[in-house]
Structure 1
Amino acid sequence: MIEYFIPAALKFSFFKHLSKLVLTVFLVSCNGIEKEAYVKVADMDQTASFVGTASCIECHQEEYELWENSHHDEAMKIADSTTILADFNNTTFTYKGVKSSFFLKEGDYYVNTQGEDGNYSDFKIIYTFGFTPLQQYIVQFPNGEYNCLLTAWDTVEEKWFHLQPDLDIKHDEWINWSGGSQRWNTMCADCHSTNLQKNYDLSSGVFNTTFSEINVACEACHGPSGAHVSYYKEQEENEANGVLPPELYIGSSVPPKELVDKCARCHSRRGNLTPYFDYTGTFMDHYFPRMLEEPLYELDGQIRDEVYVYTSFLESKMYGLGISCKDCHDVHSLKLKKEGNDLCLTCHIPDKYDSPEHHYHAMNTDAALCINCHMDGKLYMVNDYRRDHSFRIPRPDQSVTYSTPNACNKCHTDKSAKWASDFIVEKYGPTRADHFSDHLLKGYMDDNQEFKKVFSSKEYPEIARATAIGLYVNSPISYEDALDLTRYLNDSSILVRNQTVRAFETIGSPDFAPQIVPLLKDSVRAVRISAAHYYNVIGKSQVEHLEEFKLANQEYMTELEVNSDFPAGLHQLGVYNQSIGEIDKALDFYSKAVKEDNYFNMSRINMALIYYQQGLVDKSEATYLKIIEQEPEYSYTYYMLGLLYYETNRKDKALEYLASACSKEPANANASYNYALMLQQENKNSEAINIIDKALESFPNNERLLYVKLLSEINLNQQNRAMNTCRLLLQINPTSSDYNQILKRLQQGS
C-alpha cells in the first residue's frame, strides 16, 4: 500500500485565518446659505482666509452670474417658500406601508413619517438639497446629525417618489433615511459645502459640523481667497513693490491632469483620509478612490453603481491626451459648452465622424448622437441619468463572450448581442482595437496572467493598471510573480504604487516587508497610509522602531478616526485593535459597528471568531446563526460555522453546514476543499469528487482542490483519472517532488 504525502500547505485549514477589512470607501450619495440657527457656522475670525462669495463679485461679476442658479449654487438652501419645489400642501406619499405626510405649520415645512424608533413623528424640514431632476429635504436630530429623507420630489414630473423603490427597508436600518446612509454630515456635506469640517466626536456620538458657506461657492473650488482679495485691494502698491499675486488653489492656468485631480475630490467615489480638506497636496493626499471593480463597475470597467465620473474618465483616451473637465463644461455654469454633436466636433473631424458612413444611423436623430454610442449611461437615484465618461467604443463582441453590457443593445433591445457584434464586423471589419478591457475580462474568466498584461504596460490608463494589480493577487501567485510585482512599488503612478502596496498585503507574506519600507516616506499620504496598514496586518516588528513608520502609522490612525462615524470605519478600528492584541477594545468597536448598522455582519463574523478563541463556543455559534438569519444566502457564514462544529466534534452538523456553504454564494474554494476532505474521511470519495468538480468551475486550476480530487481518485483506484489530475498539478507546480513521486508510482501501477 502506498502512502501519499500531503503537503503541509494543503492540510485541513480550520481557523487559520483572521477576518480583516480591506480599506472601505465611503461615498457621497446625495444631490447637491448658511443659517446659524440650524448649523453652527464656522467663525470667520478662525477661518479668516475664507472671505465668502460676496468678496468675489466685485471683480468677477461675469463668473458669478454664470455660477448663480447652477447646480453648485443650488446644492443646498434654507428651506423656505423660494427654495422648496415640492408640494407641501397636505400631500401624502406611501412607500411599502410607510406613509409620509407633507404640510406647512406656522410658515415652516414639515413631514410626518416613521422615525428610527418605528413611531410616526413630525420632523421639521431645515434645508433643501439639490433642485433638478430631484430635490431632497433635510431634517435635524439632537446630536448634530442632519439627515436626508428618502422620499424626494421629482422636479420634472412634479411628484413624490422613493429613492430606493426596490428595497424593503426597516425603520431601524442603517440604509433608512434616519440611519447613517442618509446622514448629511457623513455622506454629503464634504462635497456640497465650502470649508466643511465634520467635527465628529466618537466618544459622545455628537457632530459639531461647521462650514463657511453651505453650498458649493467660489472658494469651494478656488480655495481660501483672503490673501487673493487683500492683494488686489492694494494692487498698485503690491505691483510697485514687485509683490506677485498669491496663487489660488484652482486658477485659470491649471494644467489639464492637475485640474482633473482637483475636481476629483467631489466627483469620485472615494474614502476620506484626513479630517477635512485643507487645499494642500494632491487628491490622494486626502482621499482614496475606488478601483474599477465589482459591484461599482462592470467587469470591463463600464460604470454600474454611482461612481461620480473621475475614475471612469481616467479610463478614457481623452484624459490621456490632455482633455479635462473645462474642455466640455463651462466651469462656472457647469453647462456643456456646445449642444449635441457640435461639442464632440470641436476636436473630431465632422466629415469623418458625423456621418452615416461612420455611425450608420439617420442624421439628426438621437441615434446619431455621439454620446449615445460612446457615453452610455444609467439612472441613479431613480431619475438622474448620468453618463459613463470612459468614452469607449461599443463592444458587443465582449457581450457575446462575457455578458457585459454594450451601447448598441441599450437601444436595440429586440436584438441579440450576437446581432450587434455581427453588424460591427460587417461595417467596421473583423478586428477590434486593443483595449485594456479585453485583458481584464480574460483575466477574470480565463487566465490570471492577462491582468499582468495590463499593469505591466504604461500604454494602458493608470486606473486600469492599478485595478489589474488588485485583481491579479486575488488568486494565488508564485513567489517569482510576487517578486516581479515589487518593481511596481516604484511606479510613477500614485494609483499603481498604492495598489501594489495593497497587493502585498493581500499576498500576506512578510518576505516583502523590506521592499515596502521606502513607501512609508512616499510623497503622497494615501501611499504612506497603505504602507502603514500593510505592516499592521503583516507584522510591525521590522519597522516599529523607524521614525517614518511612526509618522505614517499616525496618519493611518487619523484615517481610522476620521471614518469612525461609519459602521465600516468602526469595524476597521476593531480590526486594528484586534491586530495589536486589544481584544476588549476590538469587541467594543465591533459592537458599535453592529449598533450603528444591525446588518453589518462583517463585524459579527470577527466577533464570532473572537468568542470562539475565548472559549465562548455557544456565543460564537449564536452569532453565526444570527448572521445566517439575516443573510441566509451568504456562503462564508455557513463555512465558518461548519468549521466551528468540526472543531467541537459535531461532525454531522459540520458536514451539514459545509455542504450548505458549497451551495451558497459567493463560491468558496475553502469550503469546498474542507467539505471534500471531510467526505474523504467518511470514505465518500465519489461525493468528494463531485464537490471538487463543481468548485473547479469557479476556481479552475486551484491546486488545493485538485489535490483533494487526486486523493479521492486514488482511493477509488481510478488510476488513469488520477494520473491526468496529477499531470495537471505538475503543470501548475512543476517543481513539486511530491507530485512527481505520486505520478511515478501511479505509472508503475503500485
Structure 2
Amino acid sequence: MLAKLFPFACLIVAACSFSQVATASPQYVGSEVCADCHTEETEAWQGSHHDLAWTDPADGHIIADFSGTEFSLNGVISKFTQEDGQPFIETDGPDGTLTKYPVAGVIGITPLQQYAIETAPGHLQSFDVTWDAFGEEWFHLYPDQNLKASDGLHWTGPYKTWNSRCAECHATDYQRNFDPATKTYDSTASEIGVGCESCHGPASEHVNWASDAPLRDPSPDLSPLGLVVDYAQGNNETQIQQCATCHSRREPLLSGSPMPGTPFHDAYRLSTLRQGLYHPDGQIQDEVYVYGSFLQSKMYQKGVVCSDCHDVHSGNRVAEGNAVCTQCHNEVGNDRFPTLPLAEFDTPEHHFHKAGSEGAQCKSCHMIERTYMGVDGRRDHSFRIPRPDLSVETGSPNACSDCHADRSPNWAARQVARWYPASDKRGPHFSQVFHAARQGDATRASDLIDLALYEALPGIVRATALDLLIPFSSKEIADRTAGLLDDPDPLVRVSALALQRGAGSVNLVSRVLPLTEDTSRAVRIAAARELLGAPIARLPERQEKSMRIASQEWQQSLASKFDFPETQMVMAGIGLRTRNFDSALASFREAVAMDPQLVQSWVMIVRIQAATNRTDAARETLKAALALNPGDQNLLNLQRQLP
C-alpha cells in the first residue's frame, strides 16, 4: 500500500514543483520600513550579529585585509586582492585549478568573518580560509585536513554550499529553490541578514494596522496588531522555538525559512544527544548551537526564556558578568520563579574562588566553553553542576578540569566532595547508562527503557535513550516503549517510532498508523518512514488519506533536500526497501557524484551491479571508487570478493 503512495516518479515531480514560498498576504516589507517607527529596536539591532549575518561586499562591512595578502596551506596559496573596490579571492576551484573569484557575500563580523564565493550562477560556496577579527590574520577553519578539490568536504563540496547549508539562518524569508534537473539554484530572500521579519514575520498587515488602514488579510492567524507572531500574547515556547529555528543542530524538513511562528517540530527534526555531537552526560562536543543544551536545563523546565538573559534586538546579554545570573539567583529571588533557593551565590562561600577571578564567574563552572570554527568560543547552555566524578566514569569533561588542566578528574572530584560533603547532586546520572550503551553494552537496554519512561527527565534525554535502544531492537523493547508514541514531547514520539520495527508487522501498523495524523510534521514524516513497505492491503478511507498526506510530506521534505548527499542515501535506501534497484542505483550514483568519499555508496553500487549480473560494470565502478579513495580497506575487501 505505502509503496503505491510513494512512487519514485512523484518524488521527481515534487522536487521540481515543491516550494515553501508563500504567495498570500501578509507580505515582507523589509527592515527599513520597520525602522520608521521602531527606532530604539532598530538602533539596538543595527551592527548586531543578526544584522551583519550576511551582507553585500559593497556595504562596507569587510574587515579582512584584501591588499594582496596570502595564505598558504598544503601547497595551495590563496590570494586576497582588491580591484576598483571589488574584493577578489584566488584559490583552488572545483577542479583544483587556481581561479580568481570576486567575493559574492560577507558572512558575519566577529570573532571571525567568512566569505561566500559564487562558483556558478546563483551557486554560492562558503570559503574555508577565514579572517580572525581579533587576531587580524587569515586562518583555515580545518587546518588538519588536507582536502583536494575532489573531496566532498573541500570548500567547493556539497557540505560547504551556502545555498543549502547556511543561508537560511543568515537571511530573511530565504528559499533555496534548487532545481534537481539542472542542479542549479535560484535562491531568493526578502533581505540578506537576519532582519526584523525573520522573527516577527511578514509585516505588511502590521504596517496597515499602524497606519489605520484596513487589514487586507483579516485572518484569525494574525495578532490584533496584524503580525503572524505575537510574542506578547504567546507562551514561553513561542519565543524559544523561534530562536531555536537557527540556534539548533537539526535536519530541515522544508526548503527554506519557515514562516516565523511555525512550531519547531513542523519545520525541523532536532538532533538528540548523539555520540560525536554531545558527550555522554549531554555536554556540548560538536557545534550544536545551544537549543539541544538548553532543553536539558532546569532553567528551561522552570520557564526561563532566551530574552531573560539576552536582549533580543542587539543579541547582547542583559547585564555584564555574574549580574546576568544574579538577577534571579540572589537572596530575594524572582517572583516569576518561586522555587528558586534564596541565597547569595556570588560569594567565595559558594564558588570557593577569589572574588572577581575567572573561577568566580558563574559561567566558568556552569557553562563550559568550547571553541568552534577556530576562534569562536561557545558556551554550553545546559547550566549544569560540575560533575568531575562523572568524568572519571564516563570520560565526559568537567568545568574543573577545563581550568585545572594539570590536575586529574579524580582530584577535582575529591575537591568538590570536600566543598559540598552533604550534596545530593552526586547521585546516579543518565550518562552512566548512555556511556555503556555507546560501547554496545546490551545489558543496559532495560536501563535505557527506564530512562525513556522517566517523565522527570528532559525530553531530549528520553529521546536519546530511545535512539540508543535501536541496535538492541526487539519485540519486548517495542512493547515496553509503545506507550511513548503518545508522549507529549514530539521529540520522544519521533524516537519511539523507530523501535516499533521490532514489534512485528501487525503491531507496527496498528501502533504507527495513528501517528500519521500527529500534530507535528516531524512525527508524521517519521511515521510514514516506518510504514514504508509494511504489509497493508486495505485501509479505511480516513486512515488511507492520513497516510497518503504523511507520505506526501515525506516526499516533499526529501525533494526539498535533493542537493544533500544524505538525502540521496535515504532515497537509495527507499529503493532497496521497495526492491526498485534501478532507482537505488541512481540515488547511490548521485550521492557519490556529490561526495566521492561516500565509500558506503560505492560499495552498494558494486554489490547491486554484481547481484544483478553486471560484473563488468561492478569492476569498473570499483576501479573508479578506488581511484578516488585509494587504499580504502572496505573497497579493497570488496575487490577481493568480486569474481
Q: TM-score range by the shorter chain?
A: 0.7 to 0.9
Q: Aligned to 2:87, what secondary structure does the other structure show?
A: strand
Say if 1:473 and 1:507, in contact at 8 Å, map to a contact too.
Answer: no
Say if 2:473 and 2:502, in contact at 8 Å, map to a contact too.
Answer: no
Say if 2:387 and 2:398, in contact at 8 Å, map to a contact too.
Answer: yes
* Corresponding residue of 1:50: 28
- Using the TM superposition, give the Cα deviation of residue 257 of structure 1 relative to its aligned residue in structure 2, in angstroms: 2.5
* Corresponding residue of 1:71: 49
Question: Residues of 1 paired with 2:311 and 2:61: CA distance?
Answer: 24
Are 2:248 and 1:268 aligned? yes
Q: Deviations over 1:143-178 (max 9, x none)?
A: 420111111110101000001111111122221112
Amino acid at match of 2:185: F
Question: Residues of 2 paired with 1:396 and 1:480: CA distance?
Answer: 36
Say if 2:54 and 2:107, in contact at 8 Å, map to a contact too.
Answer: yes
Are 2:524 and 1:528 aligned? yes
- Cα pair distance change 1:353/1:622, threshold 3 Å: farther
Say if 1:605 and 1:623, in contact at 8 Å, map to a contact too.
Answer: no
Say if 2:309 and 2:317, in contact at 8 Å, map to a contact too.
Answer: yes
* Corresponding residue of 2:546: 548
Are 2:178 and 1:234 aligned? no
Question: Residues of 1 paired with 2:428 and 2:206: CA distance?
Answer: 48
* Corresponding residue of 2:128: 150
Say if 1:273 and 1:285, in contact at 8 Å, map to a contact too.
Answer: yes
- Cα pair distance change 1:476/1:428, threshold 3 Å: same
> Which of 124, 127, 134 in structure 1 is aligned with 2:105?
127
Q: Aligned to 1:80, what secondary structure does the other structure show?
A: helix
Say if 2:208 and 2:215, in contact at 8 Å, map to a contact too.
Answer: no
- Using the TM superposition, give the Cα deviation of residue 140 of structure 1 relative to its aligned residue in structure 2, in angstroms: 1.2
- Using the TM superposition, give the Cα deviation of residue 586 of structure 1 relative to its aligned residue in structure 2, in angstroms: 2.0
- Using the TM superposition, give the Cα deviation of residue 634 of structure 1 relative to its aligned residue in structure 2, in angstroms: 7.8
- Using the TM superposition, give the Cα deviation of residue 293 of structure 1 relative to its aligned residue in structure 2, in angstroms: 0.8
TM-score by length of 1: 0.75
* Corresponding residue of 1:215: 193
* Corresponding residue of 1:437: 431
Question: Residues of 1 paired with 2:354 and 2:579: CA distance?
Answer: 68
Question: Residues of 2 paired with 1:531 and 1:227: CA distance?
Answer: 37
* Corresponding residue of 1:451: 448
Are 2:320 and 1:322 aligned? no
> Which of 272, 290, 293 in structure 2 is aligned with 1:309?
290
Greater alpha carbon shift after TM alignment, 155-164 vs 57-66 = 57-66
Question: Residues of 1 paired with 2:302 and 2:629: CA distance?
Answer: 46
Say if 2:27 and 2:203, in contact at 8 Å, map to a contact too.
Answer: yes
Say if 1:74 and 1:215, in contact at 8 Å, map to a contact too.
Answer: yes
- Cα pair distance change 1:278/1:379, threshold 3 Å: same
> Which of 556, 559, 570 in structure 2 is aligned with 1:558?
556
Q: Aligned to 2:88, what secondary structure does the other structure show?
A: strand
- Cα pair distance change 1:378/1:624, threshold 3 Å: farther
Question: Residues of 1 paired with 2:93 and 2:361: CA distance?
Answer: 46
Structure showing greater Rg: 1
- Runs (5+) with no aligned partner, structure 2: 1-19, 217-222, 332-342
Are 2:109 and 1:117 aligned? no
- Cα pair distance change 1:342/1:597, threshold 3 Å: same
- Residue identity over aligned pairs, in percent, reads 34
Question: Residues of 2 paired with 1:47 and 1:98: CA distance?
Answer: 50
* Corresponding residue of 1:396: 388
* Corresponding residue of 2:277: 296
TM-score by length of 2: 0.87
Q: Aligned to 2:546, what secondary structure does the other structure show?
A: helix
- Using the TM superposition, give the Cα deviation of residue 608 of structure 1 relative to its aligned residue in structure 2, in angstroms: 2.5
Say if 2:202 and 2:227, in contact at 8 Å, map to a contact too.
Answer: no
* Match runs of 1:483-502 below 5 Å: 483-502=479-498
- Using the TM superposition, give the Cα deviation of residue 349 of structure 1 relative to its aligned residue in structure 2, in angstroms: 2.3
- Using the TM superposition, give the Cα deviation of residue 609 of structure 1 relative to its aligned residue in structure 2, in angstroms: 2.7
* Match runs of 1:364-375 below 5 Å: 364-375=356-367
Question: Residues of 1 paired with 2:289 and 2:537: CA distance?
Answer: 40
Are 2:404 and 1:406 aligned? no
Q: Aligned to 1:353, what secondary structure does the other structure show?
A: coil
- Using the TM superposition, give the Cα deviation of residue 440 of structure 1 relative to its aligned residue in structure 2, in angstroms: 2.7
- Greater relative contact order (Cα 8 A, min sep 6): structure 1 or 2? 2
Question: Residues of 2 paired with 1:236 and 1:622: CA distance?
Answer: 68
Are 2:328 and 1:331 aligned? no
Say if 2:602 and 2:625, in contact at 8 Å, map to a contact too.
Answer: yes
Q: Deviations over 1:380-431 (max 9, x none)?
A: 0000000111111111111111222111111111101111111122221275
- Cα pair distance change 1:257/1:279, threshold 3 Å: closer
* Corresponding residue of 2:376: 384
Q: Deviations over 1:523-558 (max 9, x none)?
A: 111111001111125555566981211111111111
Question: Residues of 2 paired with 1:134 and 1:180: CA distance?
Answer: 22
Amino acid at match of 1:533: R
Say if 1:436 and 1:460, in contact at 8 Å, map to a contact too.
Answer: no
Question: Residues of 2 paired with 1:317 and 1:425: CA distance?
Answer: 22
- Using the TM superposition, give the Cα deviation of residue 582 of structure 1 relative to its aligned residue in structure 2, in angstroms: 2.8
Are 2:595 and 1:597 aligned? yes
Say if 2:126 and 2:155, in contact at 8 Å, map to a contact too.
Answer: yes
- Using the TM superposition, give the Cα deviation of residue 113 of structure 1 relative to its aligned residue in structure 2, in angstroms: 1.0
- Cα pair distance change 1:476/1:46, threshold 3 Å: closer
> Which of 171, 176, 180 in structure 2 is aligned with 1:202?
180
- Cα pair distance change 1:582/1:311, threshold 3 Å: same
Are 2:150 and 1:172 aligned? yes
Say if 1:257 and 1:319, in contact at 8 Å, map to a contact too.
Answer: no
Amino acid at match of 2:384: R
- Runs (5+) with no aligned partner, structure 1: 1-41, 649-750
- Cα pair distance change 1:225/1:236, threshold 3 Å: closer
Question: Residues of 2 paired with 1:161 and 1:103: CA distance?
Answer: 16
Root-mean-square deviation (Å): 2.8
Question: Residues of 1 paired with 2:329 and 2:322: CA distance?
Answer: 10
Amino acid at match of 2:250: R
- Cα pair distance change 1:519/1:101, threshold 3 Å: same
- Using the TM superposition, give the Cα deviation of residue 600 of structure 1 relative to its aligned residue in structure 2, in angstroms: 1.6
Question: Residues of 2 paired with 1:542 and 1:437: CA distance?
Answer: 44
* Corresponding residue of 1:90: 68
Are 2:426 and 1:428 aligned? no
Q: Deviations over 1:340-381 (max 9, x none)?
A: 111111111265321222211111101110111110021100
- Cα pair distance change 1:508/1:330, threshold 3 Å: farther
* Corresponding residue of 1:257: 237
- Using the TM superposition, give the Cα deviation of residue 126 of structure 1 relative to its aligned residue in structure 2, in angstroms: 1.8
* Match runs of 1:629-668 below 5 Å: 644=641
